[in-house]
Amino acid sequence: MSATSMRTQQCGDLRPEHAGQTVTLCGWVATRREHGEHLAFIDVRDHTGVTQCVVDNSVDVRPEFVVRVTGVVTPRPAENVNSKLPTGAVEVQQCRVEVLNTAEPPPFPISERADHVAETTRLQYRYLDIRRERMQRNLRVRAACNAAIRQAMDAQGFVEVETPMLVPSTPEGAREFIVPSRQQQGSFYALPQSPQLFKQLLMVAGIDRYYQMARCLRDEDLRADRQYEFIQLDAEMSFVNQTDVHQAIGAAVMAAARAAGHEPSEIVTLTWHEAMNRFGVDKPDLRFGMELVELTDAFAATEFKAFAGAASIKGINVPGRAEEFGRNKLDGLTDKAKQMGAKGLVWLKATADGFESPVVKFLSESEQGEIRSRLGVVPGDLVLVVADQWSTTCEVLGTLRNDLGRPPVHEGPYRYLWVVDFPLFVGVDEATGRPKPGHHPFTQPHPDDVHLLETEPLAVRSQAYDLVLNGWELGSGSIRIHQPELQGRIFRLLGISDEEANRKFGFFLNPFRYGAPPHGGFAFGVDRLVAILAGEENIREVIAFPKTQSGSDPMTNAPTPVAPKQLDELGIRTLPPKA
pLDDT given at position 248: 98
Report d(CA 244, CA 457) in Å as an integer.
27
3-state secondary structure of 373: helix
Whether 36 has a pLDDT exceeding 90, the answer reads no
Distance CA 27, CA 70 (A): 12
pLDDT given at position 212? 98
436 C-beta neighbours (distance < 10 Å), count: 14
Amino acid found at 196: Q
pLDDT value for 230:
95
Query: SS3 of 374, please?
Result: helix
pLDDT in tens, 280-334: 999 999 999 999 999 999 999 999 999 999 999 999 999 999 999 999 999 999 9
pLDDT at residue 548 greater than cutoff 80: yes
Residue 99 phi, psi dihedral angles, 5° rounding: -85, 115
The yes-or-no verdict on residue 570 having pLDDT over 80 is yes
Report whether pLDDT(386) > 80.
yes
Return the percentage of the chain with pLDDT > 70, whole number.
99
Contact 287, 415 (CB under 8 A): yes
Q: Does the pLDDT at position 47 exceed 90?
A: yes
Taking only the tens place, the pLDDT of each residue in 7-19 is 999 999 999 999 9
Helix (H, G, I), strand (E, B) or coil at 530: helix
- In this prediction, residue 171 carries a pLDDT of 62
**437-448: average pLDDT:** 93
What's the DSSP call for residue 579? -
> So what's the pLDDT on residue 172?
62
Amino acid identity, position 218: R
Nearest to 332 by CA among 389, 392, 424, 403: 403
- Check whether 33 has a pLDDT greater than 80: yes
Mean pLDDT of the chain: 95
Q: What is the pLDDT of residues 343-367, one digit of tens each?
A: 999 999 999 999 999 999 999 999 9
Q: What angle do CA 83, 84, 89 make, to 5 degrees?
A: 40
Task: Look at residue 498 in the predicted model and tell me its pLDDT.
Answer: 87
Per DSSP, the three-state class of 535 is coil
Q: Using 50, 70 and 90 to split pLDDT, how confident is the model at 430?
A: confident
